[in-house]
Amino acid sequence: MSQQVVLKAGLVPLTTLSFNSSDEDAIRAELEQKRAEAPALFRHLPCVIDLTGLDPDALPLSRLLSLCRDNGLLVVGVRNASDSDLQQAASEGLADLGKGTTRTAARQESLQPADVPARQVKVHSGNIRSGQQLYTDGDLIILGMVSNGAEVLASGDIHIYGALRGRALAGVKGDENAIVACQQFDAELVAIAGQYRLFESAPEQRNQSVVVSLSDGNLNITSV
């Protein structure tokens, strides 16, 4: 008789939210601002909440979860939770992902052997016009340009063999190793794993071939 349920160990990247204060109004305002700037990034984005430094009396976990959910975030677990927060998390059906979230530790863990499936690759031939949105769960290759007002998203890398004039969001499920590469850079917004940069004026590397990557939480835009 064949198995109906198969368990496989794997490495699934998730975005982690951390907070520098317990001010509910300030957190709400910043989440709403980020959602307005990158609405596609905040649409059903699975994430983990790091509770380090939060005051549960000033901002209970239940209210923090409401703030996240109101802005389109799907909270699946918590880190660095107190005993009382763990009880609340369990009642909400959230996973306890333990203590410690340093980037160094995360990188070391990611280098350990794991059952990581190969990413799918989607190739799109043609331009992405203003108002259009293109998403793929994997790597995305575009043989054309991304126009102003257009948006492309991928859980993996994005390669644009043309001009990027709209928005490109790579690693939307939390993959910090994802990149955005294009032959002509004039973007409205670029993002990697939730870290984004909005360009209200022409970027320094305008019309250059660039690679956008993430390092220590900072977006790097490198001409190539």
Tens digits of residue pLDDT in 151-194? 999 999 999 999 999 999 999 888 899 999 999 999 999 999 88
Q: Is the pLDDT of residue 141 over 90?
A: yes
Strand partners, 16: 48
Per-residue pLDDT, averaged over 57-79, amounts to: 91
Tens digits of residue pLDDT in 1-50? 567 776 665 555 667 888 888 999 999 999 998 888 778 778 788 888 99
Confidence grade of residue 99 (pLDDT, cut at 50, 70, 90): confident
Q: Which of 194, 158, 154 is nearest to 68 (CA)?
A: 194
Phi, psi dihedrals of residue 88, rounded to the nearest 5°: -65, -40
Cα–Cα distances (Å) from 50 to 121, 132, 140, 172, in that order, read 32, 34, 30, 19
Domains of the chain in start order, with CATH, are 15-110 (3.30.70.260), 121-223 (2.160.20.70)
Tokens 């220590």, residue located: 216
Q: Residues with Cβ < 8 Å from 118, sequence gap 6 or more?
A: none
Confidence grade of residue 203 (pLDDT, cut at 50, 70, 90): confident
CA distance 37 to 196: 9
Q: Looking at residue 108, what is its pLDDT?
A: 41
Q: Which residue has the higher pLDDT, 190 or 97?
A: 190
Q: Any alpha helices (H) in the chain, and if so which ranges? A: 24-37, 61-70, 83-91, 103-110
pTM given for the model: 0.63
The structure tokens listed for 149 are 């007002």
Count of beta carbons in the 10 Å neighbourhood of residue 34: 16
Cα of 199 vs its chain's centroid, Å = 18
